Structure 1
């Protein structure tokens, strides 16, 4: 199976006049860490609730593991671990006891609780009461709950939201480990672009319920890596008139010009032209990154 999730022309809203999702189409490859990125209110959580059956897919626009949701659930719940919003705990109980309750409800052995606690590095803290867990520890235990039963797919809605930098690092390392060592496909939504950029292999960018980009990180790089190139050179203002208008030159400061290009050949041609005009170039760098790309894509 190439794609573990297929969404085709999904529309959803509370009324015909107010659609939350508009012709949404997403393919999520098996074995990927797929970032579902967008601002708050863009439609990420609604899409995820549709995927796990929390909201009915009345148009049969969604397939998971090659099946429509109506044919996939309820038996399919064993193949999926999900965390939408935040997990609920019994604060007066320990992390171990919270996991035992869920494992009993799902008829899973205690060894599963031990396995997932080792995976999320909470075995040493298993007997600590939940009210003493840090936010990062609670988030790791939440993910441990989703891992009970060895799911093939994780659906995580904003799992690093509210965490400090160290907590974000812990969750990121955990998800990469699950993907690379356990072979788990992960769909993760977020609006924290700089953090999510460090772990994803593929992504979709959603804005106001519409997909603005979908593809691999490599494809996004090829499309946007030559946008917003900054050229450091002495007396920048003297060379502004030498740059053709199709580069959209912009004077940033006395030693920096920003240009837009479509390829590395464009940059080579411009640098040659500037050097022949005695420009003293000391730096060329791209300001492109996921945050800049996101702003550019959603703006247009």
Structure 2
């Protein structure tokens, strides 16, 4: 699979003794939604600022579109849309006029403003002044700004930060639509693991300036999932005796048994055993999600 972004052994800091980024390496496949995950202060924004040329990449550690940053920019900005930190707007202007200002600066036609407003579902609110926009609407307009000029790559720093659950859902659905329908590769940073887990295809986890994991969601599952499955059922103390020892069954609470499995067939076979014993099963789920893996990876 072709990579749109390649970072190899990136170090960055104000002095050699105070590095913010330490030997950061990751690859972002073309067409992916890549989650760059870490706690606040882990080094996410610094990495993205170096990627965009806001901070120097002195050792040429980064390639985007198979070009070093020194040869990519400034022309490369035509192929990249970015949103780092908080978006800036003219609050006394409408959403449409804010886009027009930016499109004029970039020499783009007014039709581009119309196109991106339809993409982010703000066409009906185009004439509303920015000061009346909700936080979610402002974030969608900010993403519309990054879409001017039909970029192939979006680099977004914490795009759902501060939004309510409905606003997060809107942004998530928008990013999925842009990826699936427009084929845009999306590099998104966040510390909101449960939200990002619902959309990413690949990810990297950064902690204290160092990459702890980088790869596909499937690779993360195979490396870090302990094949623990939780079964929700009534009266687990009655039915745990029917579960073979190789499943290592444990009662978690009054409605949950946790087991270890090696394959999907293990789950099928055990479900048959319990149902034949008249167990009332109401849920089967993985016991570990991205948040659990994140905590384990960053600890170790």
In the TM superposition, 1:60-75 aligns within 5 A as 60-75=60-75
TM-score of the aligned structures, taking structure 1 as reference length: 0.87
2:20 aligns to what SS in structure 1?
strand
**Is the alpha carbon distance of 1:142 and 1:238 closer, same or farther for their aligned partners in structure 2, counting shifts above 3 Å?**
closer
State the match for 1:252 in structure 2. 252
Q: Partner residue of 2:119? A: 119
1:14-35 Cα distance to aligned partner (Å, 9 max, x none): 2222221111111000111111
Query: Distance in 1 between the 2:64 and 2:5 partners?
Result: 5
Kept in 2: contact 1:34–1:186 (CA 8 A): yes
RMSD of aligned alpha carbons: 2.9
Paired with 1:75 and 1:254, the residues of 2 have a C-alpha distance of 61
The residue aligned with 1:110 is 110
Take 1:238 and 1:133, find their aligned partners in 2: how far apart are those partners? 55
Does the 8 Å contact 1:236/1:254 carry over to 2?
no
Work out whether residues 239 and 279 of structure 2, in 8 Å CA contact, stay in contact via their aligned partners in 1.
no
Please report how far the alpha carbon of residue 217 of structure 1 lies from its aligned counterpart in structure 2 after TM superposition: 1.5
Q: Partners in 1 of 2:259 and 2:58 — Cα distance?
A: 48
Alpha-carbon deviation of 1:165?
1.1
Taking a change above 3 Å as real, the CA distance of residues 47 and 234 of structure 1, as seen in their structure-2 partners, is: same
Q: Deviations over 1:246-266 (max 9, x none)?
A: 96x7653466554556x3399
Tell me, yes or no, if structure 1 residue 162 matches structure 2 residue 146: no
Q: 2:56: which partner in 1?
A: 56
User: Unaligned 5+ residue runs, structure 1?
Assistant: none
Is 1:264 the counterpart of 2:263 in the alignment?
yes
CA–CA distance in structure 2, aligned partners of residues 156 and 88 of structure 1: 14
Q: Report the 3-state secondary structure (helix = DSSP H, G, I; strand = E; otherwise coil) of the residue aligned with 1:235.
A: helix
Give yes or no for the alignment of 1:143 onto 2:143. Answer: yes
Aligned to 1:235: 237
Matched-pair contact (CA < 8 Å) for 2:35–2:190: yes
5+ residue gaps, structure 2: none
Alpha carbons of structure 1 residues 298 and 53: separation in structure 2 relative to 1, 3 Å: same
CA drift of 1:194 comes to 1.2
Report the alpha carbon displacement of residue 10 of structure 1 after superposing the two structures with TM: 0.7
Q: Which residue of 2 aligns with 1:189?
A: 189
Question: What pairs up with 1:195-206 in 2 under 5 angstroms?
Answer: 195-206=195-206
What is the TM-score normalised by the length of structure 2?
0.87
Give the secondary structure class of the aligned counterpart of 2:6. Answer: strand
CA distance in 1, matches of 2:179, 2:230: 36
Contact 1:230 1:259 in 2 (8 A): yes
**Superposed, which structure 2 residues align to 1:207-222 within 5 Å?**
207-222=207-222
Q: Secondary structure of the residue that 2:23 maps to in structure 1?
A: strand
Say if 1:234 and 1:280, in contact at 8 Å, map to a contact too: no
1: CA distance between counterparts of 2:238 and 2:223? 27
1:92 matched to 2:98? The reply is no
**Alpha-carbon offset, residue 298 of structure 1:** 1.5
The superposition leaves residues 212-242 of structure 1 with CA deviations (integer Å, 9 ceiling, x where unpaired) of: 1111112222334444433567438996xx9
Instruction: Give the structure 2 partner of residue 32 of structure 1.
Output: 32
- 1:27-51 Cα offsets, whole Å, 9 max, x none, are 0001111111111111110100000
Q: Does the 8 Å CA contact 1:235/1:255 hold for their aligned counterparts?
A: no
Change (3 A) 1:253 1:24: same
Tell me the distance in 1 between the aligned counterparts of 2:156 and 2:70. Answer: 21
Displacement, 1:6? 0.3
